[in-house]
Amino acid sequence: MLIFYTLKYLPQKEKVRVLRELKGYRETKNGKTYEHKGMLHSANSEKLGSNVILVPIGSFSDFQNFFSKNNIGIEVKEVWVK
């Protein structure tokens, strides 16, 4: 499934939180680097461009719930990948 989403109606703090949950992030504390995996990594999904992700159909409901919970508008298109 191809998901187009927009974050333009969210405050900056919420945008950062949502993107961290989606893509993950790294942080350094006391000289150690910690990596936090996001939903894209755990669902074997890909970020194709700005605000566009490709999600396997089996993981689509997780992403749909995530966007719905965070009041983010999405547009979904079904695609076939060879």
- The total number of structural domains in the chain stands at 1
52, part of any domain: yes
Tell me what pLDDT residue 82 has. Answer: 77
Domain of 8, in residue numbers: 2-77
Tell me what pLDDT residue 81 has. Answer: 77
pLDDT by residue, tens only, the chain of 82 residues: 999 999 998 999 999 999 999 999 999 999 999 999 999 999 999 999 989 999 999 999 999 999 999 999 999 999 987 7
Closest CA to 41 of 21, 57, 27, 61: 21
20, part of any domain: yes
Tell me what pLDDT residue 10 has. Answer: 92
Q: What is the DSSP letter of 10?
A: S
82, part of any domain: no
Sign of CA dihedral 24, 17, 56, 80: negative
55, part of any domain: yes
